[in-house]
Amino acid sequence: MKTVEGLADVSKQLKLRCQEEIANGNGGEEKKSSLPFPHWICQPYIRPVPSPEEPVPYGNKRGPEVMKAMCQKRALEDSDGTADQLSKNKQKKKSRNPNKNFCVEQKPKYVKCEQCGNPKGNKCVFNLCRACCKKKAYKEVADCPSHGLRFKTKAEKQKAEENGKVNGEERKEETRRERRRRRRRGGDEEETREETREETREETKEETKEEKKNGSPTEREISSSQPPTKLQVQPL
């Protein structure tokens, strides 16, 4: 019973069944329910179909007079006449700002975007609105200064930074290689220097050993210059 016709069929069947029960004499039975009247007395209300000659009352549907008045108002608003032909709201706006132009034809007409129909940017590179321009610039990695989109410059900057890092690492490797080469070239000289250093160290060690045994030359001179001292014997 998802339609009105199905509901009407069900109500007709119930009506016929009730009529059969009344004809058979079952209508005079005792009441088994708490209702004051039997169920066959209740009947559904069927709304009468309105005739086309009768006028439609004002409600959800608008009458012809209202539609006519609204059409006249829309025509006055769309027209570019004097203040007498303007609507009340536009007359109020014109009283506040008399220099304002309400003519529809003289209003600036914006050029539409090629993809979505919104007004396009006046200085856009792709002749698109901001949303469409952003998508296209992102796909093509391009710039649009009018919309403030700089995908190309950012990509180039990032690439330059990466190249700079690579160049820095290459320079470090080159300096390391040069140091290794210098070490290899100056290996013989360093060996000779190390040999001389070892010889000097051995000589200094031998000199220190001799000084410890015989004493330093300054101590010898001091001991030779001083006369021998007499031993003082104390009486017991």
Whether the predicted pLDDT of 59 surpasses 70: no
Q: How many Å from the N-terminal Cα to the C-terminal Cα in the chain?
A: 152
φ and ψ at 95, to 5 degrees?
A: -65, -35
**What are the tokens at 140?**
């093509």
- Coil/strand/helix, residue 81: coil
Residue whose structure tokens are 């160290």: 201
If you average pLDDT over each of 107-111, 154-158, 182-186, which comes out highest? 154-158
Instruction: Report CA 64 to chain centroid distance, whole Å.
Output: 52
pLDDT, one tens digit per residue, over 92-145 is 888 898 888 777 777 777 888 888 888 888 888 888 899 999 999 999 999 999
- Between 189 and 151, residue with greater pLDDT: 151
Asked whether 71 and 77 are in contact (CB, 8 A), the reply is no
Give DSSP secondary structure letters for 124-142: -SSS--HHHHHHHHHHHT-
- Residue 174 and residue 158: Cα distance in Å, rounded? 24
- What is the average per-residue pLDDT within 211-215? 72
Residue 128, burial from CB neighbour count under 10 angstroms (0-12, 13-18, 19+): buried
Give DSSP secondary structure letters for 96-116: H-TT----STTSPPPPBPSSS
The pLDDT score that the predictor gives to residue 11 is: 85
Question: How is the chain split into domains, by residue range?
Answer: 1-23+36-48, 65-107, 108-183
Angle between helices 187-214 and 151-185 (to 10 degrees): 50
Which residues lie across from 149 on neighbouring strands? 144
pLDDT bin (cut points 50, 70, 90) of residue 80 is very low
Specify whether domain 108-183 bears CATH 1.25.40: no
Whether the predicted pLDDT of 176 surpasses 70: yes
Mean of per-residue pLDDT scores for the chain: 75
149-150/143-144 β-pairing: antiparallel
- pTM exceeding the 0.75 threshold for the entire prediction: no
Q: Residue 55 contacts by C-beta under 8 Å, 6 or more apart in sequence?
A: 63
For residue 34, the surrounding DSSP H or E stretch is none
**What are the tokens at 3?**
């339609």
